[in-house]
Structures are given as C-alpha cells and as structure tokens.
C-alpha cells in the first residue's frame, strides 16, 4: 500500500473561483506549485513554441570549435566516426548525428558497442575500427565523459575525439578535442537537462546553420527520434525538453521513417486520427523495442531499422526486433519476480537493494533495477556475475544522486558512468562485498531521514465542486507528461460507492459511480484499471478517500468526465 503524500495541503485562499479567471483556480495552484509564478513563465510552459523556446546551439562554449573541426573534415573529404551508446538514447543519438553529417555531405562510419562484451562507453575495439576506416575525427554520443584511457589512445593514433554527452562530469576531464555537455561546470548553455539525443541534435542544428541553412526545416523531421531518446532516457519534460517532445510527437504522428512505420505495423502500435502518439506510447512501446536490440542481440539492429529506407528490408528488421522484444518481455518478467523476492527477503529493512547472480541476463539488468526501484522506492542495483568481474546497472530515487555515491566508491571499480538517476558499473568480484558495505553505508546515511517505501504523490485534495470540464481542459495543457512534469493527481475525501462492477478481460477493472458521503447530489463516473485484485470486495455503501487523474469517457457520441482511480483508502468504520 503506497503512502499518500500531498504537494499542496489545501488550495490557497488567494485563488478563489471566479468566472473571469483565465484558468481554473486549481490550475492556478498547480502552476504556482510547479514554479510558474508569473504570466510569462506560465504561457511558456502551457504553450511551448519552437521558434521562441529552442535555444541557439552556439550558446555551448565549445560549439564553434566543434563546428570548425567538422567543417575541416568536410572540406578535406574526411570520414567522421560516430560512436553511439547502445540504449535508446545512444541509438537515436547515432541516427541524429549520422543524418546531420550526411546532410552536409560528410561521409560517416558508425560503431555501436556490443552491450555484453564491450559495455558502456568508448571501447578500444571502436578505436581500432575507426583507425581501419581511416577516420581522423570521431564523436562519442551519450557517452565518453569517463573514457580517459580510450580517448588518450585515440589521440596517440591521430584521431580527434569530440565528446557529445550529458552524463556526470568527472573531476578530471578526458583529453578530448572538445566536449559538448550541458552539465559541464561553467557551461554557458542555458538548459542543463538535455539527454544524449537532445545534445546531439544541438550539434546537428549548429552544423545545419553553418553548412546547410537551406535545410533548416528538414531538421524538424529528426525530432521524432530526438523525442524517443529524450523520453527513453527519462529526462525531465521541462524547458527545452518539453518543446522537443511536444514537436517530436507531432513529427512521430506523421513520421517519414519507413523503419518506424514498419515497427508500428509489426508491433500493432496504433497511431491514427483518434489515437495520437504520446509520452506513454514512447516509454512503454517504442523505446523498449529499441532497447530490446542491445538487450537481446545488438543495438545496430535498431539503428539500421531507424535508418532504413527500403520498406521490404525495414519489414524484416522490424519483425526481427519485435521477436527480440517478445523474448525480452518473457525473460524480464521472470527475473523481476526473482529480484523482487530477494528484495523482500534480504532488504526489507534496508535502504538499498543489491541483487547479484550469474544467471541474470546482463542485457536487462537496467530494466529490472528500474522496476524494483520504482516498486520499493529504494535505490537498486542488479548485476550479472561473471567469472572474474560483474557488470550491472543502478536506478535511483529522487532523494539520492546515484552517480555521486558510486564515484565515492570509484577506487573499487573497474569502470563506471551515468547520471543522478541511473548508472552502470563493472567491478572485480573480489570487491563485491566491500563495495556493498561501503555503498550501503553511504546510502543509509544519505537517506537517514527518508522513508523508503512506495509513495503516491497527490497534487491537491479537491472538493467535488472543483471537478468541472474546465479543470480537465486546463490540466491537459500540462501535457506532454513525464519525468519532472507528471500528470496531475488529485484526491477526494469521503466518497461513497453508489455502484460497483468488475469489467474487462478477467474482471481486472472496477467501474464505479461515486457520490459524496455527506449526501450532496454530485456524482462521478470512475474507472479503476487493474484494481480488481487490489480491492476484491468493493460494496455499495463503502466510503473511501480516492486518488485519481481526470479523464474523459466517450460513449455513444456523448463525452463525460471520468475519474481514473489510482488508489483508494477505506474510511474506518464506514
């Protein structure tokens, strides 16, 4: 049972309900609570505008240096190496950079590492590959900040490396020709939360502005993959990310990418006039398929699918990727159950969950760690144990910057990298126990005042009179929803069940009609998806506090407001 926590205890008295107000008073309270205090900030948040809100890429301190060096490659006919990470963010980054370089007539060689044998970050295998290809300039995308040895080796071989990344910045920077990372100390770029794909797109923008200004509009057609990378890497959907994802969803709806079209057809991902793509579709249907390539085979499969222009070949690639995704779902379900059992047995009274096993498939450990961290609200590490070393992934909670904690144990690790919410590491097996002891002590100290149990954050408790169509219309202006900009969650207290019936395949969902227990006449239709097992015995007359999101239900041409129930708390004695 989740602990309910409120972002707003009550509606401020300064926001009375008035017909002349532009927004519903609840909307005003939500905007204020999310940091949008003045009209300009509110308009910019509620109505993102591409021309107004996308920053000049040359605001990056070293962007001019990057563009100049790529310009030299263009002028001399050099082939440029593109090294992308193997997850959805890295794969989309490699597609963005490959398309941008091709647009300005620079030949490209792409290398994406094999997840199990090469791991995260620039690998010497890639340096060898680029040397064989005659590459004198290569870019690392969504990685590179901690690849000191590999970048130094590339430099010795006469290969300039440009790091294009968004991950944690180490105290000592690698010997790169240039670094584009919004998190660099002293960086002048105004938005720090770009992902690898977003940062790669800024470089693509700069290249287009300098070498192909006539193709400026063409860059907008790349926003489908920029949005996939941004959502897939769970970036906060605020500021420039909000603009990228809003317009990326528009492009995704009418994508020209044959590979995505075939992915949708094969995967039965429905996009039409009645079903618009949204963040949830990317997060639960599109990005997992791209990630399935590296988890079950090789990420180049997903890269090639996104780049493919021949429909027949795209169909074959999409079918292969879909088969890997189905296999990934089956394996991840079984491993999640196993790690959940470990968490309950060994770490119920601990702040940190640490699961290591020889048979955990390395390709899915990050996925499992994320699921367990979300379920238990505890930082989690899931690792695959090899003969001499173990590799694994961390997922964190908002109260803990995971990469800072890992860095404090860096002397015990072979390599590591990541950011505040997610990271990966390789460690010698002989150091596993001491790592756990030290890391667990750090986490326990950092989270000493934090209750690590499942939470449900509620924006504000409403009264029935607040729930009108205007509030729903206003709340939809907050979309696209996602990390850092969640869909508003409300609650109502003392609601009596007037009608209750189980619906759906297997009677998994509750269809309810709720009325205030004080006897007032207002009633609400409600749907509780997958709550049949959680609340098996709902009865007419039961009284609950209800946590919900607002939605609309259209039936027989009539549209009404509907409460999408997330959780309920029964009132004692009622």
Return the pLDDT at 10.
Answer: 67
Provide the pLDDT for residue 169. Answer: 92
Q: 495, 545 in Cβ contact below 8 A?
A: yes
What is residue 14's predicted lDDT score, i.e. its pLDDT?
Answer: 47
Helix axis angle for 196-211 and 223-232, nearest 10°, is 160
State residue 217's pLDDT score.
Answer: 87
3-10+455-570 topology per CATH: OB fold (Dihydrolipoamide Acetyltransferase, E2P) (2.40.50)
Domains 53-253 and 347-446 share a fold: no
The overall average pLDDT reported for the chain is 93
Can you give the pLDDT at residue 216? 86
Topology of domain 53-253 in CATH is inorganic pyrophosphatase (n-terminal core) (3.90.1640)
Among 321, 226, 220, 329, smallest CA distance to 265 is for: 321
Asked if omega into 385 is within 30° of 0 (cis), the reply is no
Contact call for residues 286 and 488 (beta carbons, < 8 A): no
Q: In this predicted structure, what is the pLDDT of residue 554? A: 80
Taking CA atoms, 558 is separated from 465, 471, 513, 555, 567, in Å, by 22, 19, 17, 5, 27
Helix (H, G, I), strand (E, B) or coil at 166: coil
**CATH code 3.30.830.10 for 347-446:** no
Which residues of the chain register pLDDT less than 50? 13-16
User: Is the whole-model pTM more than 0.85?
Assistant: yes
Nearest CA to 112 among 131, 140, 136?
140
Q: Domain residues of the chain, as ranges?
A: 3-10+455-570, 53-253, 347-446
How many CB atoms within 10 Å of residue 487? Answer: 18
pLDDT recorded at residue 20: 54
């Amino acid at each position: 049972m989740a602990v309910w926590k409120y972002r707003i205890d009550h509606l401020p008295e300064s926001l009375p309900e008035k017909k002349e107000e532009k927004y519903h008073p609840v909307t005003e309270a939500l905007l204020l609570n999310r940091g949008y205090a003045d009209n300009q900030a509110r308009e910019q948040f509620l109505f993102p505008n591409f021309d107004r809100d996308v920053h000049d890429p040359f605001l990056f301190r070293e962007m001019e240096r990057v563009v100049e060096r790529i310009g030299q490659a263009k002028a001399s006919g050099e082939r440029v190496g593109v090294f992308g990470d193997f997850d959805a963010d890295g794969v989309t980054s490699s597609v963005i950079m490959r398309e941008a370089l091709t647009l300005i007539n620079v030949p490209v060689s792409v290398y994406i590492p094999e997840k199990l044998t090469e791991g995260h970050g620039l690998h010497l295998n890639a340096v060898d590959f680029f040397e064989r290809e005659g590459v004198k300039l290569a870019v690392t995308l969504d990685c590179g900040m901690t690849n000191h040895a590999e970048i130094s080796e590339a430099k010795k071989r006469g290969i300039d490396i440009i790091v294009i990344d968004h991950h944690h910045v180490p105290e000592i920077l690698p010997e790169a020709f240039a670094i584009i990372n919004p998190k660099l100390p002293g960086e002048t770029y105004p938005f720090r939360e770009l992902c690898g794909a977003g940062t790669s797109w800024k470089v693509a923008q700069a290249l287009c502005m300098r070498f192909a200004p006539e193709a400026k509009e063409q860059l907008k057609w790349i926003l489908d993959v920029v949005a996939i990378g941004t959502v897939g890497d769970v970036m906060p959907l605020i500021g420039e990310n909000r603009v990228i994802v809003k317009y990326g969803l528009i492009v995704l709806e009418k994508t020209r990418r044959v590979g995505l079209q075939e992915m949708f057809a094969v995967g039965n991902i429905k996009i039409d006039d009645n079903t618009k793509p949204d963040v949830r579709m990317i997060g639960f249907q599109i990005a997992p398929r791209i990630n399935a390539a590296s988890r079950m085979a090789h990420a180049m499969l997903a890269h090639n699918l996104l780049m493919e222009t021949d429909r027949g070949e795209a169909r074959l690639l999409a079918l292969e990727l879909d088969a890997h995704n189905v296999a990934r779902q089956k394996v991840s379900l079984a491993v999640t159950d196993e790690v959940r059992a470990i968490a309950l047995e060994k770490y119920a009274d601990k702040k940190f969950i640490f699961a290591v096993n020889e048979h955990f498939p390395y390709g899915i450990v990050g996925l499992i760690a994320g699921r367990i961290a979300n379920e238990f609200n505890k930082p989690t590490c899931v690792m695959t144990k090899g003969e001499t070393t173990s590799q694994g992934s961390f997922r964190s909670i908002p109260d803990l910057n995971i990469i800072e904690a890992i860095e404090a144990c860096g002397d015990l690790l072979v390599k590591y990298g990541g950011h505040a919410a997610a990271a990966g590491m390789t460690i010698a097996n002989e150091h596993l126990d001491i790592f756990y002891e030290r890391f667990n002590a750090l986490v326990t100290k950092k989270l000493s005042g934090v209750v690590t149990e499942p939470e449900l954050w509620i924006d504000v408790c409403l009264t029935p009179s607040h729930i009108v169509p205007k509030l729903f219309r206003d709340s939809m202006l907050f979309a696209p929803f996602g990390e850092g900009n969640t869909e508003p969650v409300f609650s109502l207290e003392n609601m009596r069940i007037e009608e209750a019936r189980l619906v759906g395949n297997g009677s998994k969902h509750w269809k309810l009609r709720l009325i205030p227990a004080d006897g007032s006449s207002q009633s609400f239709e409600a749907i509780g998806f997958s709550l049949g097992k959680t609340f098996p015995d709902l009865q007419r007359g039961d009284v609950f506090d209800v946590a919900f999101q607002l939605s609309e239900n259209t039936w027989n041409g009539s549209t009404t407001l509907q409460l999408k129930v997330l959780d309920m708390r029964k009132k004692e004695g009622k």
